Amino acid sequence: MEARKRMDQSKKLIGLIVIVFFVAFVSFTFYRWIRFGIIDGGSIIISFISLSFLFNWLNTGNHNGMKEDKDLN
């Protein structure tokens, strides 16, 4: 029970970190684009990688999606 509680807390913390990083980096990229007119490839790649981490976190952290329970069949 205690391990489950710590796991839930760590998942929430990881989600918060992913959201903050994504928003911060995308807003920094937009700032550079609006202020200086510069869009580099690294900013685009890092933005999409952080977006994929965000989607992975929303998908319960499993790259293949939710697994079917074979015991129920």
* Residue 70 maps to a domain: no
Tokens of 21: 């990083």
Q: Which two tokens stand for residue 50?
A: 């952080």
DSSP 8-state symbol, 59: T
pLDDT tens, residue order, the chain (73 aa): 676 677 778 888 888 998 999 999 999 999 999 999 988 899 889 989 988 988 888 876 565 656 665 555 5
In a domain, 18, yes or no: yes
| pTM recorded for the entire structure | 0.69
Q: Are 14 and 54 in contact (CB under 8 A)?
A: no
What does the alpha-carbon distance between residue 19 and residue 40 come to, in Å, rounded to a whole number? 22
Which structural domain range is residue 50 located in?
Answer: 2-58
| Count of domains observed in the chain | 1
The CA distance from 35 to 29, in Å, is 10
CA dihedral of residues 31, 36, 38, 44 (deg, nearest 10): 0
Q: Say if 49 falls within a structural domain.
A: yes
